[in-house]
Chains A and B, each alone.
Chain A
């Protein structure tokens, strides 16, 4: 069975600072993908970044980077140089490559302050 854990229900970060959002997962599948999504107050779900379980390098997309530690089963999202528009709920998700369930964590609410 898959399980995604996000232990930080909410956090504050100052503008221009970096923030790390924690995500740990558990799966018995040998090959899987890890994803992060952003949900602003308007409600839409926005895909941010992807990491494959066999990727050797950590994924980066602009100000987003994924700190992937396979042995520890963690896939933390790092947002550098936070902006006010980064205030949102952030979800970690996992999907086995073998057409398994796309499972989401509980989310972390980020508030960026001036």
Chain B
């Protein structure tokens, strides 16, 4: 079975550029989470969706960040304009309401903003 798929795996961009990170959750999972991981701040929950609806975006740092989930199989996290302090690993994760509800993580997108 395919796991959570994220793209790109690595992105290097210059300050001011737009960055779009993509995520395909596991088929049948109805919750999707975006996390940011840095050495200084650890794993931060940015936003999560339930049945494609954003439930809590209080972790989104500022208006430069936006996330969408147009359907059950795709989500994007966009940063515009990007800044060097946005450099981090961005994880997408999905879960289902059944069972233990554990998160299944993608491999992450490592973003470097110069």
Binding site for B on A (CB under 8 A): 33, 35, 37, 43-45, 47, 50, 52, 91, 93, 95, 97, 99, 101-107
- The B interface is mostly helix, strand or loop, or mixed, namely strand
Known: A43-B89, A50-B102. A101 touches B45 (CB 8 A): yes
B42 and A35 contacting across the interface, CB-CB below 8 Å: no
Residue of B nearest to A103 (CB): B45
Chain B 59-103 near chain A by CB (<8 Å), digits 1 or 0: 000000000000000000000000000000101010101001111
Q: How far is the CB of B43 from chain A (nearest CB, A)?
A: 4
Q: How far is the CB of B73 from chain A (nearest CB, A)?
A: 20
A102 and B50 contacting across the interface, CB-CB below 8 Å: no
Q: How far is the CB of A54 from chain B (nearest CB, A)?
A: 13
A93 to B95 alpha-carbon distance, docked (Å): 14
Number of interface residues, chain B, beta carbon within 8 A: 23
B43 and A35 contacting across the interface, CB-CB below 8 Å: no
A97 to B101 alpha-carbon distance, docked (Å): 9
Chain A to chain B contacts (Cβ below 8 Å), 13 pairs: A33-B101, A45-B93, A45-B103, A50-B102, A52-B100, A99-B31, A99-B50, A99-B97, A102-B45, A102-B93, A104-B43, A105-B42, A107-B42
Which of these, A47, A50, A103, contacts B104 with CB under 8 Å?
A47
